[in-house]
Amino acid sequence: MQPNAATLKAPATDEPATRGFIATWPNAEIRGADGRVVWTLAGYEFLEAEEAAPTVHPGLWQQARRNMAHGLFKVCERIYQVRGFDLANMTIIEGERGIVIIDPLTCAETAAAALKLYREQRGERPVTAVIYSHSHVDHFGGVRGVIDEQDAIRRGVPIIAPAGFVWHTVAENMIAGNAMSRRSQFQFGNTLPRGVCGQVDCGLGKSLPNGTVTLIPPTRTIEKERERHVVDGIEIVFALAPESEAPSEMFFFFPQLRALNLAELGQHTMHNLCPLRGAQVRDARLWSRYLDEALHEFAPHSDVVFAQHNWPTWGREALTGFIAQQRDLYKYVHDQTVRLMNTGLTAIEIAEVLRLPPELVDVPHAQGYYGTLVHNVKAVVQHYLGWYDGNPSRLHALPPVEAGTRYVAYMGGAEALLARAQADFERGDHRWVAEVTSHLVFAEPGNQPARALCAASLEALGFASESATWRNAYLLAARELRVGVPAARRRSMSYDLLKAVPMEMFLDCLAIRLVAERASGHRMRLDWHIVDAREHWTLTLDNAALTYRPGNPADSAAVADASIAVSRDGLARLLAHESGIAAAIDAGMQAGQIAVDGDRAKVSALLGMLDEFEPMFNVVEP
């Protein structure tokens, strides 16, 4: 049982991060049904000190302290937020019959706790609508913690999302999910210990929870650029912002309440145009345009602007300045990068010389606590020109192991390289030392002095980083060089997400796992029947490639080698286990959950051609 929130005090951080505070729980600690800790702010006590530790950038230290503000906060009349119970915020709006929830956090446990905290203070109001602002998991994954799907259907509770929400939600987790999951450890630092020499923050919030990701598909999508709806007596203007911070995103204006919610378009930090975990590059030009629309359409009629991370900004003058500066930040990064790109400078060269203008250089919310100017510049260039910098000497560069071996030889061998690198390290040239010793690690991964010096240089870079994500990446790299890569269970996806996966995306997931060497010389056709959805797909293997097309196999003159029948729900339940796709399908066939008519050996042969991804692949060594 959680404590009585009313007896607890807010953490000591500066206002406005604590403005409107009502109540919280000790350390915001949340446990799952099995007693396991899903979320806690315990371990961050070192941030009580006002002065930054020498191992943390002073700006990041203050951002980390601001992000310690946790609990229930009043934004304005009828609008509340639970902050610090997850990476993101849960917004709660009091309607005529109950409450409208915007973004039910990452997992069911944190969302349920946030709702419980609200109800302890504001009473047992029913959930009358759920809104997903965009397609990132920390903004929808806890939905089953705030509402039961069957109860929502019975009561006609709308679940509202922007156009394209389901496709983009599952696409990000399915196609590149294994690589993103591993790389996200470096971005968020959730496997690092908390402390002045470890993880201190994520820029947008403290950390990632470790709970149950869920999804209830939307019952209503916003399709037009502007749509005005009344939801439980609250008038909401929905404004689409696709291809900004997420491929599917929207923000909101509440005319009656004189409040503007920018979702994730305006935060108290510079955001990412391409996160370190990887993603489709975001369009800085469009991002800035949406903020300009918010500034001119909605800000003149607002008394507060808030978002789904960090804290609000109150007052017409302050919020107008905030939105204008955020708008100009992304437009500046875009325009100046493109200008220099068109003079012939490469992404690396632009990132080295471009600085914020004097008007923004001291603005707190323009600082790189999450995204950074350096890697956002590179994202803009990538958006327009791709990975190639135009120099043919890098058109077909050697891979890291072979290049590293040759660099070491050219530098006179490992001992000579280390001697020079040690001298440079002592002079504080940590960027260069990290680069050259990384070559030696890839050439000789067992060379312990090389690993130690590379780790030390990466650690020094981490301690100096203003960006929480850069700090986390540097420090996790240093840790893995020192102690190795920990073992991990195979990555599994949420059943709710898998149930929402379109069949073509599932078939793509088979195709990207096909090992060409195993498939070469084989030809087959397999017909898939999704019995409950009445979908029919033909999967063809030829030329070491898997292709597919929809349609009723009965309409085709070609004869399939085998016909596979399964329900969407059954397939989702099988894939939710941690055994991998091939093993899950094989287990389903053995158990009769997947019916096969025809040459069963062909199906088994295809499964034997599929790769299973290693979730903890090496990053900073071969």
Percent residues over pLDDT 70 in the chain: 96
Three-class secondary structure of residue 243 per DSSP: coil
Alpha-carbon dihedral angle through residues 294, 295, 296, 298, given to the nearest 10 degrees: 60
C-alpha to C-alpha distance for 468 and 14, rounded to whole angstroms: 19
Strand partners, 101: 92, 130
Looking at residue 551, its pLDDT comes to: 82
Residues 529, 535 contacting (CB under 8 angstroms): yes
Q: Is the pLDDT of residue 282 over 80?
A: yes
**Quick one: tokens of 509?**
């997931």
Tokens (6 digits) for 425: 């390290």
Return the pLDDT at 488.
Answer: 74
Give me the DSSP letters along 88-114: S-EEEEE-SSSEEEE---SSHHHHHHH
If you write DSSP's letter for every residue of 171-234 in order, what string do you get? HHHHTSHHHHHHHHHHHH-TTSPBSTTSB---SSSS----S-------SEEE-SSEEEEEETTE
Residue 355, burial from CB neighbour count under 10 angstroms (0-12, 13-18, 19+): exposed
Computed from CA positions of residues 268, 272, 277, 282, in that sequence, does the dihedral angle turn out positive or negative?
A: positive
SS3 call for 534: coil
Asked if the model's pLDDT at residue 489 lies above 90, the reply is no
Distance (Å, rounded) from C-alpha 434 to C-alpha 441? 10
Residue in 564, 581, 567, 556 with CA at minimum distance from that of residue 528: 564
Confidence of residue 554 (pLDDT cuts 50, 70, 90): low
- Supply the pLDDT for residue 125: 97
- 29-72: pLDDT as tens digits: 999 999 999 999 999 999 999 999 999 999 999 999 999 999 99
pLDDT at 580: 84
Q: Is 283 exposed, middle or buried (0-12, 13-18, 19+ CB in 10 A)?
A: buried
Query: CB-based contacts of 474: which residues, under 8 Å, 6+ apart?
Result: 458, 459, 461, 462, 465
pLDDT at 490 > cutoff 70: no
Contacts of 467 (CB under 8 A, 6+ apart): 60, 203, 368, 369, 370, 371, 372
CB neighbours of residue 347 within 10 Å: 21
In this prediction, residue 15 carries a pLDDT of 84
Mean pLDDT of all residues in 110-115: 98
Q: Number of C-alpha atoms within 13 angstroms, CB side, residue 377?
A: 21
pLDDT in the model for residue 326: 98
Report pLDDT for 553.
63
Q: For residues 459 and 6, what is the distance between their CA atoms, to the nearest angstrom?
A: 41
Q: What is the pTM of this model?
A: 0.94
- Burial label for 51, CB within 10 Å (0-12, 13-18, 19+), is exposed
DSSP category for residue 236: E
3 state DSSP class of 607: helix
**d(Cα 606, Cα 493) in Å, to the nearest integer?**
22
CA neighbours closer than 13 Å in the CB half-sphere of residue 451: 15
Q: CA 534: distance to chain centroid?
A: 33
373's tokens: 């100017």
Grouping H, G, I as helix, E, B as strand and the rest as coil, residue 395 is coil
Residue 162 has pLDDT above 60, yes or no: yes
Q: Is the distance from CB of 41 to CB of 121 less than 8 angstroms? A: no
Which residue would you say has higher pLDDT here, 577 or 247?
A: 247
Q: Which of 162-166, 236-240, 580-584 has the lowest mean pLDDT?
A: 580-584
Is the Cα torsion angle 452, 457, 462, 463 positive or negative in sign? positive
**At residue 67, what is the residue type?**
N
* pLDDT band per the 50, 70, 90 thresholds, residue 487: confident
pLDDT tens figures, 184-242: 999 999 999 999 999 999 999 999 999 999 999 999 999 999 999 999 999 999 999 99
Per-residue confidence band for 448, with pLDDT thresholds at 50, 70 and 90: very high
- Best CA proximity match to 285, nearest among 383, 423, 154, 196: 383
**Res. 10: pLDDT tops 80:** no
Q: Is pLDDT larger for residue 329 or for residue 497?
A: 329
**Helix or strand (DSSP H, E) at 504:** helix 503-511
What domains does the chain contain, in order, with CATH numbers?
Answer: 5-228 (3.60.15.30), 321-387 (no CATH), 398-483 (1.25.40.880), 495-608 (3.30.1050.10)
Q: What is the DSSP letter of 398?
A: P
CA distance 193 to 200: 9
